[in-house]
Structure 1
Amino acid sequence: MTDIRPDIRQIEADIYERLSHVIDPELGRSVTELGMIAAIDAHPASEGGYDVDIRVELTVEGCPLSQTITNQINGAVASYPGAALTPHIEVSSMSRDKLADLVAGLKAERRQNPFSKPGVKTRIFAIASGKGGVGKSSVTANLAATFAALGYDTAAIDADIYGFSLPGLFGVTTQPTNLDGMLMPVTAWGVKLISIGMFAGADRAILWRGPRLQRSLEQFLSDIWWGTPDVLLLDLAPGTGDMAISVAQALPNAELVVVTTPQPSASDVAVRSGLVALQVPMRVRGVVENMSWYEHKGERLEIFGAGGGARVSEQLTAALGHDVPLMAQLPLEPEFRETGESGRPAVLNADGTLRDDAMGQAFRSLAERLMA
C-alpha cells in the first residue's frame, strides 16, 4: 500500500500557507499571524479526495465577523489545486491567556499614537468649519464613504465631542468591541469609526474642558486598534477651540480641509478656522463649499448666495502664503439629507457603491484631489 502521509503533510502545509492570506477584517492581520488557526488535519475521504478539518479560534466569542472569516477560509481551501478538498471548519474562541498574549503583543508593537510615527503612510484630513450648520459632518461622512468605495482602507474619528453625529450618519447603533482591554472601531459602509456617541451615557450633555478633551483624542488615537489605514478623517468641532489645537499637536502631519457655505456670514467665519494654521503645525489643504445651489427644473438657484468658497480660498491663500484651492462645490439636495439621516452615507447606493451622478462625481473628484 502506498504511504500517503507525506502527501497529507504537504496538503496541510499548503493550506496553512493559503490561510496566511486570509485577513481578519478588524485587526487587519492574517489569521495565521494572529494564531487563529489552531489546527489543520487532512485525511483521505471515503469517496475520494481529502477531508480537511480546520479549527479556528476567534478573538471574541460570538464575533459578528465570524461568517466573513469562515467564508474566506472556505475560499482559500477551495483554491487548492490538484486534489478535491472538503473543508470542515470548527469555530471556537481563544482562551483567556492566549487572547491576553495576543493583545499584549499588539499593544507592545504600537505603544503610542500610531499616526505620529516617522514614515507613517496614512493620509490624515481634518475637516473643519468656522461655525455649525454648514454640513461639515455630512461632508466628512460622505467623503469617508467615498474613499472606502474607491478601495482605500478608511478610518474616521468623530472629534466633535459635544456635537457628535457620525454614528447617526453611518447608521451605527453598536458599541466598539472590547478585545481584552483594546477597543476595535465599529465598521460601517466600509469605514472604521469611533465616536463618543457609541458609548453608554453619550445621550447626556457633555461638559468637558480642555484637558479631558485632549485626553479623549489621545485615547481615540492610541487605545483603538486602527491597523494601518490609507486614510484617516477627523470631524472637528466648529471653530478654533481646544480640539483643533489638540489635533494639530497629536497629528502634525494632518491636513486641514475647511467647509463653508456661500453666504458671507459663513465664509468670513470659515476663514478663521483656516488661519489656525498660522499658530499650529497644520497645513490647510483646501476649501469645500457646501449647499452651493439648488437645482429646480433645470435652473440653479443660489439660495445662500454665491462666492463664499472662492472668498475663503483667496483669503487663506493670501494669509498663509501657499495655494489653498476651492476643491469642490456641492449642491443642496433634499434627498441627500433624507438618505443621510436614514443611516446610509448619501453618496452611496444601497449596495455600497458610489453614486454615478453629479454628487457622486463631486465627491469622487474631491477624494482624488486630496490624495493626489
Structure 2
Amino acid sequence: MLTEKQVVELLETIYDPFLKKTFKETGAIQEVKINKEKGLVSVKIALAKTGTAEQLQVQQTVVQRLKDAGASSVGLRFAQLPFEEERTTNEPIYLAIASGKGGVGKSTVSVNLAVSLARLGKKVGLIDADIYGFSVPDMMGITERPVVRGEKIIPVERFGVKVISMGFFVEDNSPVIWRGPMLGKMLKNFFDEVEWGELDYLLLDLPPGTGDVALDVHTMLPTSKEIIVTTPHPTAAFVAARAGAMAVRTNHEVVGVIENMSYFESKTTGEKEYIFGKGGGQKLAEELQTDLLGQLPLGQPDWNDEDFAPSIYGEDHPIGKVYMDIAKKIIAKLR
C-alpha cells in the first residue's frame, strides 16, 4: 500500500493549469490520508481556480497516477489556493501582433520587437501563432529544435527570446494541412505544454486577418493586449482596421499601431521616398483611438554569416534603433 510520502512524490510534479507551476511549487497538496484496509487514498488539492474544465483534467491525472501506483480507490477534494499565492505568480503581459492582411511585415515586427524588449532587460517569450505560415525560426536564424523535459517542451532561446513555432514540428518545410479546430488545439498546447518559466512579456505573432487562430487567442487570453501592423498605403490601413475592430469588440486593448515600410531613405542623398504612400498608420491609429507607436522605413538588416539571422536588426542599425524606441514606448505604456 502507498505511503503518504509516496503519494506526495507521485503528485508533486503535476502542474497547476492556471499558474503553470508544479504542485510542489504552489503547495497544492494540502492533505493526504491512507486507509490501508480499503486501499483508499484520500487527497485534498488546492488549485488557483476551481469548478473548471481544467480541474477535471487534473482530477483525471491524479486518479490515474495513484491507481497506476497501486491504490484501489481514490478520494479527491479540491480547494482554492489563497489569494496571495495566486496574486504573486508572475503572469506575463500577453501582447498579440496582428494585421488585417499578409505581406505588411507583421512577423518581422514581431521578432524585432521581441528582441528589442529582451535587449532592454525584459524576459520575453514569442509564440509563432501563424500555424500555416510559420516563419519565426527562419527569420531569427534558429536551427535547433525544442527538447522535451519530463512532461514539458523547453522552448528554443535566441537573442534572449524564448521561441516556440509550428516550424519546429514539421519536416523539410512541409505544409500544414489542418482544419480550424486543430489550429486551436495546437495553440493551446503552446500555452499549456511549453515550460516558459518566468516571463515579463509573451508575444504572439498572429496570422493575418480575423480567422480561427485570432478568435482562439481572444477566447484563451481575455487580458491580451494587441498591436496592429500596417503599411502607409490606404488600402492596407483600411483592411488592418478590421483586425483592430475585432480586438475592440472582444475587449482587448489596442496598445498602438506600427506603420511598416513607411518610406525609403537614400543612403547617398538622405532623401525620403514614400513608395507606398503616406498617412495610413496615423489614420488607422486615430480610427482605433490609439497611438502610432512608430514608423519603420524600408531597409535590410546587416547580415553576419557566422551568426545568421536574416530578419533581425542590430541594436545600432538605424531601423534597430526605431524598434528600441517602440519597445520603450510599449514598456512605458503597459507599466
- Quick check: TM above 0.5? yes
1:280 Cα deviation (Å)? 1.6
The corresponding residue for 1:199 is 169
Kindly indicate whether the alpha-carbon contact (under 8 Å) linking 2:93 and 2:202 is maintained by their aligned counterparts in 1.
Answer: yes
Deviations 1:86-117 (A, max 9, x none): xxxxxxxxxxxxxxx99964542x32474998
Q: Distance in 2 between matches of 1:139 and 1:225?
A: 24
Q: Distance in 2 between matches of 1:171 and 1:337?
A: 13
Q: 1:309 to 1:339 in 2, by over 3 A?
A: farther
Q: Does 1:163 align with 2:133?
A: yes
- Give the counterpart letter for 2:331 in structure 1: M
Q: Does 1:111 align with 2:17?
A: yes
Deviations 1:249-297 (A, max 9, x none): 1111111100000111211101111000243231111100001010112
1:234-249, aligned counterparts within 5 Å?
234-249=204-219
Kindly indicate whether the alpha-carbon contact (under 8 Å) linking 2:144 and 2:156 is maintained by their aligned counterparts in 1.
Answer: yes
The corresponding residue for 1:173 is 143
Please report the TM-score for the alignment, with normalisation by the length of structure 2.
0.71
The corresponding residue for 1:328 is 294
Q: Secondary structure at the match of 1:198?
A: helix
Please report the TM-score for the alignment, with normalisation by the length of structure 1.
0.65
Q: Distance in 2 between matches of 1:162 and 1:177?
A: 22
Q: Distance in 1 between matches of 2:118 and 2:133?
A: 24
Q: Distance in 2 between matches of 1:360 and 1:331?
A: 11
Q: Distance in 2 between matches of 1:123 and 1:252?
A: 11
Q: 1:113 to 1:209 in 2, by over 3 A?
A: farther
Q: 1:227 to 1:266 in 2, by over 3 A?
A: same
Identity %: 40
1:144-155, aligned counterparts within 5 Å?
144-155=114-125
Q: Distance in 1 between matches of 2:181 and 2:265?
A: 45
Aligned Cα RMSD in Å?
2.5
- Give the counterpart letter for 2:292 in structure 1: L
Q: 1:205 to 1:315 in 2, by over 3 A?
A: same
- Give the counterpart letter for 1:371 in structure 2: I
1:1-372, aligned counterparts within 5 Å?
105-108=12-15, 110-112=16-18, 114=20, 119=87, 120-201=90-171, 203-296=173-266, 297-317=269-289, 324-333=290-299, 335-336=300-301, 342-343=308-309, 345-348=311-314, 354-355=315-316, 357-372=317-332
Q: Distance in 2 between matches of 1:227 and 1:290?
A: 32
Deviations 1:203-256 (A, max 9, x none): 222122221111111100000000120111100000000111111111111111
Q: Distance in 1 between matches of 2:254 and 2:324?
A: 20
Consecutive unaligned residues in structure 2, runs of 5 or more: 1-7, 22-47, 50-85
The corresponding residue for 1:33 is none
Q: Distance in 2 between matches of 1:202 and 1:243?
A: 24
Q: Distance in 1 between matches of 2:222 and 2:232?
A: 29
Between the two proteins, the alignment pairs up a number of residues equal to 258
